[in-house]
Amino acid sequence: MDVSSSSSSPQGGYDVFPSFRGLDVRQTFLSHLLNEFERKGINTFKDSQIKRGKYISPELKQAIRESRICLIILSKNYASSSWTLGELVEILESRKASGKTVMTVFYDIDPSHVRKQSGEFGMAFRKTCERKTEHQKQRWKQALTNVAGILGEDSHKWFGPLLETLCYHYPITIYIMSQRFSLLRDNEADMISKIAKDVSNELNFTPSRDFDYLVGIEAHLANMTSLLCLESDETRVVGIWGPLGIGKTTIARAIYNQISRSFQRSLFMDNVKRSYRCGGDSDNYTLKLRLQREFLSKILDHKDMEIHHLGTAQQRLKYQKVLVVLDNVDKLEQLQALANGPPWFGKGSRIIVTTDNKHLLEAHKIKHIYEVKFPSKDEALKIFSQSAFTQNAPPEGYLNLAVEVTELTSHLPLGLCVLGKALCGESVSMWTDQLPRIKTSLNRDIEQVLIVGYNGLDDKDKTIFFHIACLFEGKRVDCVTQFLGNSGLDIKYGLGVLVERALISILSDKLIIMHRLLRQMGREIVRKRSIQLSMRCRFLMGACYMYHVVADNIGTGAVLGTTKVSLTNEKALSGMHDHQCIRFCRHMVDKGSKLAKLVWDGISVLVLSMFWLLRCAFLSIMSMPTAAFEHPFWKLKKRLSHLKPSKEVNCCVDVARS
């Protein structure tokens, strides 16, 4: 290659190494291309100060190795130099050894002439091969055959139609020649702009280190790679499922960055849910049409694309190997508009869908689903430390506090990162001061993410969500169905919805588990609503708050449930006529003159409580210590013979009104 400028190597190497031959290329096409590279901030190798000889110099070999992309500009004179052919061999060897990105431009030459070494190109090649060894000639010939197979820009595709048009409309030769060159320059400028854009995009696609230091990312990528089965030619759709804030999008981005260069076209379409809802109140078909138009415009790089039916995506992509990530999908209609099945895409295509709704994946018949699990205790502490201290472990004096905050997030990556950033740079004393608020209040940034899952529920499922957040977390499924079985809430179906939305999980022993931050969010929503409704509380939680409601007898008919209540005033709950669930605690510390200590061994207190319970006409379930049921009181009160025994064992008394 030959072009004027310095050959000094910048730190980190070059973006592009151009390989070319001939003054005709250097003074016209290449000079304009280098100007466009410079305008786009692309650092290009230039070798005017390197002395040429029979063999490629060590400096040139180093420049090839240090460049991220090698751009080979093949022209009629390219094979007229043994130096240039040596460059080509070195470039292709680097491509084979290290995966070097190689791009081609066929400038005023047919790619078949390069592949077969024919025409003017072949004549120049044969002249260069004179007095060369057979081994050398075969190496060059194989290199030319290989480089001709690399897809690239062909100038004939830009200029050919133009020349045909000119010759048809302007048969007078001199007129053709006078008009042709300005039009050709315009077409060449368009081609140069396209090449520069492609090079810039390719530079952006080179392997990044953005996700290298994410805790646990190696295991996630290994699991995803296994599910994607990239060696197969089948078209495969893989779902990534898990609760909000678990890191689904991060995992999808990491795998996308790792494998996208292996596909003809690739697109990471973030927040599909938001794009779909931007359509406003349009009908369902219009929303899907608009979403598909946005999708095709991006993956085909075609601005303002117009489509008229939903089959367009299949027509345009069914022969192309594509990688598509559809992030944050929440409706089946979105998948129907963007990826309605493997036949829409070419062989070897991979579609990745992230969602917090497992039912959506199953309904779309996606068989390969990766469930993202919570990080381990050690991984959670490391994630938090990276966010709070920009290192992998807490510094001296912070360990116990960091462990406590980590446990408060129940290892949710979103919570770990948000709280870590909020506490970053604070002193130990400030951490200590902020802990009480972290324990009782949900960080706004965390809430804004988690609330999305709640908002996607219908009213009945929201009610079940509240009951679990406020009363039944950690309880068995049969306990919940007993208490709420006649509530009209479709408990079994509703629990299934909450599981599919990753808002709860049900263990093998049928215990219901809700993440601490989700539980905190649910209770916070209840608290805010009670304030808005002038203390018309639906659930009473927290000893101090319930103490005032119960002791001052200010409860309203809106109350559905309370937790850990100490009852000494038989009128305290009389106004709460809609009460469905009460949980009494075993002991309650004396709060002053209004409330005495409640101890189940104290017969007078127990009997006082039972007189109030007798007024619950719909009382059907009660759970108490065995000793309490042996009290003579129960033998005297036949009205309670309809009560069912409850298997609830984690509280001393549970009462439910169905």
Domain ranges of the chain: 14-202, 217-371, 377-440, 445-546
**123 C-beta neighbours (distance < 10 Å), count:** 14
- Report the percent of the chain where pLDDT is more than 70: 71
Instruction: Beginning with the edge strand found earlier in the chain, give each strand of the sheet holding 619-623 in spatial order.
Output: 539-540, 561-565, 581-584, 653-657, 619-623, 644-645
Task: Report whether pLDDT(580) > 80.
Answer: no
What confidence category does residue 252 fall into, taking pLDDT thresholds of 50, 70 and 90? very high
CA atoms lying within 13 Å on the CB side of residue 41: 4
Residue 207: what pLDDT?
63
Report yes or no: 468 and 437 within 8 Å, Cβ to Cβ.
Answer: no
Nearest of 520, 417, 412 to residue 469 by alpha carbon: 520
Report yes or no: 511 and 520 within 8 Å, Cβ to Cβ.
Answer: no
Task: Report whether pLDDT(371) > 90.
Answer: yes
Q: Hey, which residues does 644 pair with through a beta bridge? A: 621
Residue 551: what pLDDT?
47
CATH for 217-371 is 3.40.50.300
Residue-level length of the chain: 658
In whole angstroms, give the CA distance from residue 95 to residue 147. Answer: 11
Mean pLDDT of 98-126: 90
Nearest of 461, 493, 485 to residue 621 by alpha carbon: 485
In whole angstroms, give the CA distance from residue 124 to residue 21. Answer: 12
Catalytic residues: 87
Residue 485: what pLDDT?
74
- Report the percent of the chain where pLDDT is more than 90: 35
Higher pLDDT: 484 or 427? It is 427
* Strand residues in 150-213 grouped as ranges (E): 152-154
What confidence category does residue 219 fall into, taking pLDDT thresholds of 50, 70 and 90? very high
Q: What is the 3-state secondary structure (H, E, C) of 607-653?
A: HHHHHHHCCCCCEEEEECCHHHHCCCHHHHCHHHCCCEECCCCCCCE
Task: Report whether pLDDT(492) > 80.
Answer: yes
Nearest of 296, 349, 341, 293 to residue 322 by alpha carbon: 349
Task: Report whether pLDDT(197) > 50.
Answer: yes
Residue 412: what pLDDT?
92
Residue 68 dihedral angles phi and psi, to the nearest 5° = -80, -30
What confidence category does residue 103 fall into, taking pLDDT thresholds of 50, 70 and 90? very high
Is residue 547 within a helix (H) or strand (E), and if so which, with residue range?
helix 543-551
3-state SS of the chain: helix, strand, coil percent to 5?
50, 15, 35
Distance set, CA 191 to CA 108, 156, 437 (Å): 12, 11, 60
> Is there a shared CATH topology between the 14-202 domain and the 217-371 domain?
yes
Report yes or no: 25 and 84 within 8 Å, Cβ to Cβ.
Answer: no
Token reading at 335: 């998948």
Task: Report whether pLDDT(116) > 70.
Answer: yes
Q: What is the pLDDT of residues 553-567, one digit of tens each?
A: 445 444 455 554 444
Class of domain 14-202: alpha beta
Contacts of 70 by beta carbon, 8 Å cutoff, 6+ apart: 16, 17, 18, 19, 64, 91, 94, 95, 100, 101, 102, 103
Token reading at 527: 């608290």
What confidence category does residue 577 fall into, taking pLDDT thresholds of 50, 70 and 90? very low
CATH 1.10.3210 fits domain 445-546: no
Burial of 279 (0-12, 13-18, 19+ CB in 10 A): middle
What is the residue-wise DSSP string for 460-529?
Answer: HHHHHHHHIIIIITTSBHHHHHHHHTTTTS-HHHHHHHHHHTTS-EE-TT-BEE--HHHHHHHHHHHHHH
Mean pLDDT of 484-501: 85
Q: Hey, which residues does 69 pair with through a beta bridge? A: 16, 101
